[in-house]
Structure formats: structure tokens, C-alpha cells
């Protein structure tokens, strides 16, 4: 991408409120899942299993986590389960509430906007690093995959879009080859997934932003790739802040009424 084009992307500002997508929550999985695990590296395995349950939406924001129940289902003692939960608390995914119990953290829309600000910086770096490492064949595969997606607001279409979206973003992190960036992205994504049950904005809007990122990657332009990715993330920050503003105005109105 020419320097002038990259500069235009960096200077672009969101001046209109993004169209609010139709709210359709993805279904929570109902199929049975075995929690029993082997005892080698026990605490790490429990921690990994709990992360997986969170990412699969088998544990939801605000849900109480009962140590005895988890230990019984995993066929382990309470201690390694408690230690794994403490690790999740350090990652700001779990809350230990005095005299009440342990709960999945529930983020507000304002807090989610702040998480997306961090994600904007990290994702921008991943796109910059990936620009000179991704192959044209891989760019074409992602481009064709996004073009073939069903953008209708059905649960099945949304689930598929989310799957491709996450694979694309994570692939850029992998291509960056920076383990510290990967660790930071893992932590931020886990916090976001505890709140986000679907998409922040509609696929018909964000898919065009993915094409802009892919165009810059195809040109092997680090600055343009970072600028396109950061604009993609920035629009979600603006949207979530606008949603938070509206929510807070409604709460203030109810309090006055």
C-alpha cells in the first residue's frame, strides 16, 4: 500500500455512530462434557480446562463457581481447583466475593471499551509484524473465506463468522512470532469472552474492515496493516463507548424517575 494511502487510513476518524447490529445471542452448548482429568500437572490441566469452558460459553459471566462441585466433576481435590481459580482471578476473569462465593467476572460496557483499547494496540502490533511474514496464498485463503461467509443475522451464521474472525486475528498473532504478544492477547481475549456472547458490531460492517486489513497484508505493508487493524478495533471502541453512554443515561433517567 502506498504511503499516502496508509496515511489516509491513519487519519480517518469515526464521525457517525455505527449501525447497531441485531442482537442475537449464540446458544450456550447443551451437549454433555466430561470434566474428569488426569493427575499429571494437575493444576495446569484444571486451569486449562476452566479456560476452555469459559471460551466455549459453558460458564457465563456472573455465574457462581462452586469449588466442591468442580472438584467432584473433575475427580480431584478442592486445593488444585482453588489454585486454578486464583490464577483466573489474577487474570481478572474470576471474582472472589467475601462471604458470598466465587463468581465469573461481569464486565460493564465501559470496561469492555477499555479492554478493546488494549486490544487495539496489541492487534495493531500483530498486523504490523505479520505483514512481512504472511504469504500471499494465506491472504487469499482468508479473503476467499470471508467472501464466502453468510452475513445474515442467524445464530448459525454468526457462530461461523465468529469462528473465522477469531482464527484470522489469532493467525496474525502467531505469524508475529512474539510469545509476549501472544500471552497478552490470550489474557485480553479471555477477559473479553467472559462478557461478549456474540459480536460487537454486525458482520456486514466488520467484513469490509477485514478486507482492508487483508489488502494491506497482501501488499506486505507493515504500517498500512497496523493502521487498518487499529481502525477496525477503534470503531469497536467507539461503538462500545456510545453503548455505555446510552446505558448510563438510561440508568440516570430511571434513578431520577
| Digit-coded pLDDT (tens) for 154-163 | 989 998 999 9
Average pLDDT of the chain to the nearest whole number: 87
Q: Is the pLDDT of residue 216 over 70?
A: yes
Q: Are 192 and 108 in contact (CB under 8 A)?
A: no
Q: What is the pLDDT of residue 77?
A: 93
pLDDT bracket for residue 14 (50, 70, 90): very low
Return all residues near 250 (Cβ < 8 A) that are at least 6 apart.
none
Tens of pLDDT, residues 89-128? 999 999 999 999 999 998 888 999 999 999 999 999 999 9
> Domain 42-104: which CATH class?
mainly alpha
Q: Are 134 and 172 in contact (CB under 8 A)?
A: yes
Q: Is the pLDDT of residue 140 over 60?
A: yes
Taking the C-alpha atoms of residue 248 and residue 240, their distance in angstroms, rounded to an integer, is 12
Please check whether the two domains, 42-104 and 108-256, share a CATH topology. no
Q: Is the pLDDT of residue 35 over 80?
A: no
Would you list the domain boundaries of the chain?
A: 42-104, 108-256
Q: What is the pLDDT of residue 17?
A: 54
CB atoms within 10 A of CB 176: 21
Sheet with 94-97, strands from edge to edge, namely: 64-65, 101-104, 94-97
Closest CA to 158 of 128, 208, 214, 198: 198
Considering the four listed CATH numbers 1.10.1200.10, 2.60.200.20, 3.30.230.10, 1.20.120.530, the one that applies to the domain covering 108-256 is 1.20.120.530
Amino acid at each position: 500500500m502506498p504511503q499516502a494511502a496508509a496515511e489516509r487510513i491513519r487519519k480517518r476518524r469515526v464521525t457517525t455512530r455505527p449501525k447497531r447490529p441485531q442482537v442475537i445471542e449464540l446458544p450456550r452448548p447443551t451437549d454433555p462434557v466430561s470434566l474428569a482429568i488426569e493427575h499429571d500437572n494437575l493444576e495446569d490441566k484444571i486451569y486449562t480446562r476452566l479456560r476452555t469452558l469459559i471460551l466455549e460459553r459453558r460458564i457465563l459471566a456472573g455465574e457462581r463457581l462452586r469449588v466442591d462441585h468442580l472438584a467432584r466433576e473433575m475427580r480431584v481435590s478442592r486445593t488444585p481447583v482453588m489454585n486454578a481459580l486464583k490464577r483466573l482471578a489474577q487474570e481478572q476473569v474470576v471474582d472472589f466475593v467475601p462471604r458470598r462465593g466465587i463468581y465469573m467476572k461481569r464486565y460493564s460496557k465501559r470496561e469492555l471499551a477499555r479492554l478493546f483499547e488494549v486490544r487495539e494496540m496489541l492487534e495493531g502490533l500483530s498486523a504490523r509484524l505479520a505483514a512481512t511474514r504472511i504469504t500471499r496464498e494465506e491472504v487469499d485463503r482468508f479473503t476467499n473465506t470471508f467472501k464466502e461467509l453468510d452475513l445474515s443475522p442467524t445464530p448459525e451464521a454468526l457462530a461461523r463468522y465468529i469462528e473465522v474472525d477469531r482464527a484470522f486475528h489469532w493467525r496474525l498473532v502467531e505469524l508475529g512470532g512474539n510469545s509476549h504478544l501472544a500471552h497478552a492477547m490470550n489474557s485480553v481475549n479471555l477477559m473479553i469472552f467472559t462478557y461478549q456472547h456474540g459480536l460487537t458490531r454486525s458482520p456486514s460492517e466488520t467484513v469490509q474492515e477485514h478486507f482492508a486489513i487483508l489488502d494491506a497484508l497482501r501488499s506486505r505493508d507493515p504500517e498500512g496493516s497496523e493502521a487498518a487493524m487499529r481502525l477496525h478495533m477503534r470503531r469497536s471502541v467507539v461503538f462500545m463507548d456510545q453503548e455505555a453512554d446510552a446505558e448510563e443515561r438510561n440508568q440516570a433517567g430511571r434513578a431520577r424517575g
